[in-house]
């Protein structure tokens, strides 16, 4: 019976929480800007 002596590859951290946080960081203000934009743009059809 032989043991695998090769070193196991370094564990790569899960980046998904960081990706979600960073996209939320930039996405939230952008969503606010878009919401305000849509509110103003509808004036073309209602104003």
Partner 1 sequence: MSPPVAPPGWSRWLVPPAALSVHLSIGQAYAWSVFKPPLESALGLSGTQSALPFQLGIVMLGLSAAFGGTLVERNGPRWAMTVALVCFSSGFLLSALGAAVEQYWLIVLGYGFVGGIGLGIGYISPVSTLIKWFPDRPGMATGIAIMGFGGGALIASPWSAQMLESFGTDSSGIALAFLVHGLAYAVFMLLGVLLVRVPRPKERADGTAAPLEGVQVSARDALRTPQFWLLWVVLCMNVTAGIGILEKAAPMITDFFADTSTPVSVTAAAGFVALLSAANMAGRIGWSSTSDLIGRKNIYRVYLGVGALMYALIALFGDSSKPLFVLCALVVLSFYGGGFATIPAYLKDLFGTYQVGAIHGRLLTAWSTAGVLGPLIVNWIADRQEEAGRHGSALYGTSFVIMIGLLVVGFVANELVRPVHPRHHRPTPEAPKEAADVPRQQPESA
Chain residues binding partner 1 by CB under 8 A are 10, 12-13, 15, 18-19, 22-23, 25-26, 29-30, 32-34, 36-38, 40-47
Minimal distance, residue 31 CB to partner 1, in Å: 9
Query: What are 29's two structure tokens?
Result: 């203000």
Half-sphere exposure of 2 (CA within 13 A, CB side): 3
Residue 6 has phi, psi (to 5 degrees) of: -70, 140
7/47 with CB nearer partner 1: 47
**How far is Cα of residue 22 from the mean position of the Cα atoms in its chain?**
5
Minimal distance, residue 5 CB to partner 1, in Å: 22
């Amino acid at each position: 019976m032989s043991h695998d002596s090769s070193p196991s590859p370094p564990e790569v951290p899960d980046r998904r929480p960081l990706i979600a946080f960073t996209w939320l960081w930039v996405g939230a203000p952008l969503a606010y800007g878009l919401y305000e934009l849509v509110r103003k743009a509808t004036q073309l059809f209602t104003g």
